[in-house]
Chain A
Amino acid sequence: SQQGEEDPQALSIQEGENATMNCSYKTSINNLQWYRQNSGRGLVHLILIRSNEREKHSGRLRVTLDTSKKSSSLLITASRAADTASYFCATDKGRGSTLGRLYFGRGTQLTVWP
């Protein structure tokens, strides 16, 4: 079963604008990761944020985590046409029998128009 849910399901913006995607999850986590996927193939890891962290940056990416609200956001600044892809959040409960398993949401389809 999928634990995370991304919002919105689809996002369409112009180049240069910022894109914000949100992820909500249901149970406590060890860490949360964001992945990108082009054309339904392999996932590319973007960033990992641990449950004791609140914000992380990587290049044009900024991720926040609010464990009290069980939510995370991914911000892509100054978007480019090449950022067009599906973006997934994945949570890791990090305990017991579920150790190692990532739970993915359905993803946000981002389209950046030139």
Chain B
Amino acid sequence: GAGVSQTPSNKVTEKGKYVELRCDPISGHTALYWYRQSLGQGPEFLIYFQGTGAADDSGLPNDRFFAVRPEGSVSTLKIQRTERGDSAVYLCASSLGLAGVETQYFGPGTRLLVL
């Protein structure tokens, strides 16, 4: 079946602009995760959804970052007033539902560049 998909693949924006990054999880997966990966680093956790609700958003760096999953499937990560330091690859992952037990399957990521 289809894996996790993310759009766009690449996003170039200017400092101060607003961006939205989309994630389509594997069908039937109730858990969805966002991570951010800077160059030369491992992914860092941002937020985790179980169904429609954010079960843990403690990884979001500040209030410019927000994520939604209104129908329990597709999720959108929103970044307001982008800064150059937000440049990174944003990775989305999904798992079957029992967080901490199932494997997390990752999408190809969105590479964000803030000029």
Contact = CB atoms under 8 A, between A and B. Distances in A.
Nearest to A5: B42
Interface stretch (A13-21, A40-48, A57-65, A73-81): A40-48
A4 B107 CA distance: 22
Interface string A24-35: 000000110101
A99 B99 contact: yes
Contact of A42 (B39, B58, B106): B106
A99 B56 contact: yes
B103 A45 contact: yes
B56 A101 contact: yes
| Tier of interface size on chain B | 20 to 34
A94 B107 CA distance: 22
Interface string B89-105: 10101000001110111
Highest count of chain B CB atoms <10 Å: which of A2, A42, A90: A42
B37 interface: yes
A42 B93 CA distance: 9
A88 to B, nearest CB: 5
B42 A30 contact: no
A53 B101 CA distance: 14
A97 B109 contact: no
Contact of A35 (B33, B40, B106): B106
B103 A33 contact: yes
Interface of B: 4, 31, 33, 35, 37, 39-45, 48, 50, 55-56, 58-59, 89, 91, 93, 99-101, 103-109, 111
